[in-house]
Chain A
Amino acid sequence: MSGIADNLQGIELGTFSGADYDQTVEGLFGRNSWQRVQEALTEDQRETLRLFFFEGYTFAEIAEKLGQSFCNVRHHYYRGLEKLRRHLAENVLNRR
């Protein structure tokens, strides 16, 4: 079983068209994918990932903002990313 890293090798944003569109971020996550992925995450995970990726905060800043410890934030990040990884793996593999 090949991993998503293998399946996604060579994919660069904005360089796909036509049949390759399925391999882009939107193709992989689906349109409005972030909304769909959010449903699978807990509140803490969702907030951590949002603040980290969308707002540009560091873990320490997120910890401060959410009133949690640095370790907790890192754990939420890990669990959230793990769900994304699994989601991507299923998504990519189901399409192949």
Chain B
Amino acid sequence: MTPHEEFLELCAAATAGELTAEEQAKLDAHLSSCRECRKAMAEYEVATRQMVAAAASEVNAREPERDANWSVEDAEKAFFRRLETKDSLPNDSAKDPDESNKIGQRFTYRPSQFRWREVWMSLAAVVILALALAVTAYRTGVKRGTDIAFTTTEPGKDVNPSLDQQVKDAGHEHAELVAKVGEQDRLIADLRKQLSEQEKMIASLKAEKPSGRPISAPPANPGPNDANSQRDQQLATAQAKLSDLQKAIDDLTSQRDAVSSQAATLEAKVGELTQLLRNRDLEVDQKDDEVAKLQELLQYDRDVRELMGSRDLYMADVHDVSKSGTAKTYGRVFYTKGKRLIFYAFDLDAQPGLQNASSFQAWGRKGPDKLQARSLGIFYEDNASKKRWVLKANDPKALEDIDAVFVTVEPSGGSQHPSGKPLLFAYLGVSPNHP
């Protein structure tokens, strides 16, 4: 028995479902590597199906005969007879525990692992193919989307390139033209040099030529006049070369003039574009300034709204507290307890004996000791024409628990503690009077 024959027998037995687990595994391992046996296995299965079909048709053909002879009693007898036969079977099947299970398992399809693997591999291939198609479709879609995005944005770029880009392009083109003009200038100078040398040569040839005979006329007889003839020839060649050189110089000069004119036009364009660019920058700067001012105004507006809309606002007019005090208002205080204080003061710089470098510093006082006062900041001139000064304090810590505010003149930059005489004083320790 050849090794293949052994496996062919296993193949045949497999179609009947009569293999042990061990034999099935052995067959599967062999089938995975043997094409011939796989083919034989498939053909055994076909042959088996044909046999089953043939049996079925023969059973059908016998059916009427059986119907006539068939009875329940006979069937029961046959059944019990077979049961008894089965019970009294020798222990062959007991040797293999699987054997007993196999009785009555006829035609049970037992697909081998190899065949399932083929099915799973096919399914896996289909899944992978589907995934690949999905990824390809997605990528194609993304690419098309990107392409569309490019095609929709690029025309805008071409139609209206930025001013910067235009200046750069024109500048680059101008530089190229200037370089070309320079190159042509060098070429022309070279040609002029050649022309000059040629002219010199012609002059020297003419000087050597005996008078009375035209240059182009051939010599009467060669022999003694050979030298003259040669000289005439040289002269004619030199004059032709001279003429060519002159022509080349004329051509180049006209080209150079054209390029120069082009370069001049471009230079003018660059100048124009640069001016446009400057104007645009100026406009942008102006707009930035306007925006900054608007933002500042908005901030003021917000401050005013916050202050005026505050529930516990205290407003007070401030008067001169010096000995020569008048009824004239020198300032106004808007105070929201512990949150915000705005102090407007007028004519601060009109104080007698004030030096230019002095600062006006505001202090928040708690209790009678003015040395314990906290600095609230230095006044700045809000409106020079109205001689109005202002101080804003938003630091809740500095405004905490103060009961009065006063102003002193301090050295430029302010002091840690009040050192000058108080100019203005406002008491804040009363209940809010607005609204």
Contacts from A to B (Cβ < 8 Å): 3-5, 8, 13, 25-26, 28-29, 33-34, 49, 52-54, 56-61, 63-64, 69-70, 74-75, 77-78, 81-82, 84-85, 88-89
Contact A25 B53 (CB under 8 A): yes
* 16 A-B contact pairs sorted by A residue (CB < 8 Å): A3-B43, A13-B56, A52-B16, A52-B106, A58-B18, A59-B13, A64-B85, A64-B89, A64-B90, A74-B12, A74-B13, A74-B18, A75-B9, A85-B43, A85-B46, A85-B47
CA distance A70 to B90 in the complex (A): 11
B135 at the interface (CB under 8 A from A): no
Number of interface residues of B (CB under 8 A): 38
B44 at the interface (CB under 8 A from A): yes
**Residue among A8, A85, A88 with the highest chain B CB neighbour number at 10 A:** A85
- What's the nearest-Cβ distance from chain B to residue A55, in Å? 9
- What's the nearest-Cβ distance from chain A to residue B24, in Å? 14
Contacts from B to A (Cβ < 8 Å): 8-9, 12-13, 15-16, 18, 39-40, 42-48, 50-59, 85-86, 89-90, 92-93, 99, 102-106
**Residue among A52, A53, A54 with the highest chain B CB neighbour number at 10 A:** A53
Known interface pairs A54-B58, A60-B93; A29-B102 also in contact (CB < 8 Å): no
Q: A8: which B residues are within 8 A, CB to CB? A: 46
- What's the nearest-Cβ distance from chain A to residue B102, in Å? 6
Contact A59 B42 (CB under 8 A): no
CA distance A82 to B1 in the complex (A): 15
Q: A61: which B residues are within 8 A, CB to CB? A: 85-86, 103
Nearest 6 CB-CB pairs, A to B?
A5-B42, A78-B12, A25-B53, A78-B9, A84-B47, A53-B55
Instruction: Return the contact of B50 from the options A29, A74, A75 (Cβ within 8 A).
Output: A29
